[in-house]
């Protein structure tokens, strides 16, 4: 689904009922055994200008890293800054709550905890959020992957989010929101995200990496997933950068056709329920087009009773605030499904651990329909 269409639909749904102002949002507990640490990285790519503000001659990015930590105790990380919270709440049309509410969200990752692991032992997964959404909105998935032994880099694509806070106190808005959103726009955005992802990989895997725990990352085991346009950006990212060994698209229409010779590396689509009867052909035509060009391991799954926002923290917060976004499957249940299948996908394709969950429908997850 398109970013602006999603924002409008979410605004209409959330405005239909009042929020509970005294609710403190929280993320679900990670399901893995390892404590989770987190830190933020400021990165500056001087080789290219910002694609949305050409007067800025370098591309600046904020990245949140989640990773296995050697201890579970310490101050928990702030979910997002008050400025980011205010921008996201205003953009989502959530009424009657303090503007800094999401900055108080209870998380499970320890701020700047010392990373755990042996050199070159940890697979890396890059996550890209939906259009207009800050990187924090994928924190539930990121914390869970880290608790299972992954390093997770969640990228804030500057000027594509309603709010990005930088260490020097600047807060950038959504400069790209002022540009007509035609096909050329979405293609430029997805190719730009692919460039962002490659730059982040450089910063985490080069000999002079920007993170003290970078030596723990195994550069031969890197994957990517994203939500909405972040998911759509996974395909051009994989085409452009062979370091990405496996990829997932969580509910994002693809705008850049996958051309011959296609993609031989593993890929999985995960969609909300698009029609009353699951997996109707001729509905998601961009996925059908790209599916034909995938020559390696591939899956296409649909989750019954879900909507676009169900796969992110936005769905969780709406549910906790008593707001109806139109899903019959709860956001907490959808998050559990998403975590299970994302973990299974990367366990199989980055770690080589066969996952029966990906082979056939599971009685544990009856909401999942195998479309292909």
The mean pLDDT of 12-19, rounded to a whole number, is 44
Give the whole-number percent of the chain exceeding pLDDT 70: 94
pLDDT tens-digit series, residues 318-370: 999 999 999 999 999 999 999 999 999 999 999 999 999 999 999 999 999 99
Q: Is the pTM of this model over 0.75?
A: yes
Number of domains within the chain: 1
Give the whole-number percent of the chain exceeding pLDDT 90: 88
**Predicted pLDDT at 2:** 52
**Predicted pLDDT at 12:** 37
pLDDT confidence band for 16 (50 / 70 / 90): very low
**Predicted pLDDT at 7:** 44
Q: Residue 128 above 50 pLDDT?
A: yes
| 187/277: higher pLDDT | 187
Helix axes 139-147, 313-320, angle to 10 degrees: 110
pLDDT tens-digit series, residues 82-125: 999 999 999 988 778 999 999 999 999 999 999 999 999 999 99
Q: Residue 276 above 90 pLDDT?
A: no
Q: Residue 248 above 70 pLDDT?
A: yes
**Predicted pLDDT at 235:** 98
pLDDT tens-digit series, residues 180-239: 999 999 999 999 999 999 999 999 998 889 999 999 999 999 999 999 999 999 999 999
Note down the domain range covering 274: 3-370
Cβ count near 65 (within 10 Å):
24
pLDDT tens-digit series, residues 32-48: 999 999 999 999 999 99
pLDDT confidence band for 55 (50 / 70 / 90): very high
Asked if 265 and 247 touch (Cβ cutoff 8 Å), the reply is yes
Q: What is the mean pLDDT of the chain?
A: 93
The mean pLDDT of 56-72, rounded to a whole number, is 97
pLDDT confidence band for 19 (50 / 70 / 90): low
Asked if 319 and 295 touch (Cβ cutoff 8 Å), the reply is no
**Predicted pLDDT at 62:** 98
Contacts of 307 by beta carbon, 8 Å cutoff, 6+ apart = 9, 272, 273, 315, 325, 326, 327
**Predicted pLDDT at 168:** 97
Q: Residue 11 above 60 pLDDT?
A: no
The CATH number for 154's domain is 3.40.50.1820
| 50/8: higher pLDDT | 50
């Amino acid at each position: 689904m398109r970013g602006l269409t999603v924002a409008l639909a979410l605004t209409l749904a959330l405005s239909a009922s009042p929020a509970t102002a005294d609710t403190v949002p929280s993320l679900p507990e990670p399901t893995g055994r390892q404590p989770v640490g987190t830190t933020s990285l400021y990165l500056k790519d001087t080789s290219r200008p910002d694609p949305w503000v050409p007067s800025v001659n370098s591309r600046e990015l904020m990245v949140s890293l989640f990773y296995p930590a050697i201890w579970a105790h310490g101050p928990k990380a702030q979910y997002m800054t008050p400025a980011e919270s205010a921008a996201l709440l205003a953009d989502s049309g959530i009424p009657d709550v303090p503007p800094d509410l999401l900055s108080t969200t209870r998380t499970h990752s320890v701020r700047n905890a010392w990373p755990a692991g042996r050199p070159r032992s940890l697979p890396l997964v890059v996550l890209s959020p939906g259009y207009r959404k800050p990187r924090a909105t994928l924190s539930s998935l990121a914390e869970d992957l880290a608790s299972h032994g992954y390093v997770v880099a969640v990228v804030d694509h500057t000027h594509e989010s309603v709010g990005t806070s930088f260490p020097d106190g600047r807060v950038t808005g959504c400069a790209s929101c002022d540009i007509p959103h035609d096909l050329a726009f979405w293609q430029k955005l997805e190719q730009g995200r692919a460039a962002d992802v490659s730059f982040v990989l450089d910063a985490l895997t080069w000999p002079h990496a920007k993170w003290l725990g970078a030596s723990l990352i195994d550069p031969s085991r890197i994957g990517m997933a994203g939500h909405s346009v972040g998911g759509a950006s996974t395909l051009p990212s994989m085409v452009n950068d062979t370091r990405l060994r496996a990829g997932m698209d969580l509910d994002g229409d693809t705008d850049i056709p996958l051309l011959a010779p296609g993609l031989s590396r593993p890929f999985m689509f995960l969609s909300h329920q698009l029609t009353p009867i699951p997996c109707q052909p001729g509905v998601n035509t961009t996925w059908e087009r790209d599916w034909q060009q995938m020559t390696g391991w591939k899956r296409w799954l649909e989750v019954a009773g879900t909507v676009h926002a169900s796969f992110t923290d936005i769905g969780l917060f709406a549910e906790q605030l008593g707001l109806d976004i139109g899903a019959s499957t709860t956001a907490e249940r959808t998050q559990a499904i998403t975590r299970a299948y994302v973990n299974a996908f990367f366990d199989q394709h980055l770690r080589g651990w066969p996952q029966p969950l990906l082979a056939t429908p599971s009685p544990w997850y009856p909401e999942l329909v195998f479309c292909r």
